[in-house]
Amino acid sequence: MHPEIVAPWIEALIPFEPSHPAEVRAWGFCLAQLARRTGQRALDVDEALSQRVAARLKQVALPPAWIRMVEEVVERQAEEQSQVFGESLPIGLRLSAPVD
């Protein structure tokens, strides 16, 4: 999304104080994704905001990889993709091609 749209959301989320561990992880992941570096200047939030997000994320117990993706361009990991795009199929359940 364009930084002009994302920046106000980030500004609203930075001061939020999560109340329990699950909320901390959800809040931190959301904030990290919004401020994530893409390597495209037209899509990245400005450096000052990015630094504020990284500093805020460092104040709570979050995976270092989440902070790193705000500070530098990194490739999405499988675990992160499942958080963004949804869970995988339950164990034992498989998709098959339609039978003609």
Domain assignment present for 91: no
Number of Cβ within 10 Å of residue 28's Cβ equals: 22
Domain assignment present for 93: no
The parent domain of residue 13 ranges over 3-85
Tens-digit pLDDT profile for residues 2-31:
899 999 999 999 999 998 888 999 999 999
Domain assignment present for 44: yes
Q: What is the pLDDT of residue 64?
A: 92
Tens-digit pLDDT profile for residues 26-84:
999 999 999 999 888 888 999 999 999 999 999 998 999 999 999 998 876 655 545 55
Domain assignment present for 75: yes
Number of domain units in the chain: 1
pTM value is: 0.72
Tens-digit pLDDT profile for residues 70-84:
999 887 665 554 555
Closest CA to 34 of 95, 85, 84, 86: 84
Domain assignment present for 52: yes
Q: What is the pLDDT of residue 74?
A: 83
In this model, does residue 86 exceed pLDDT 60?
no
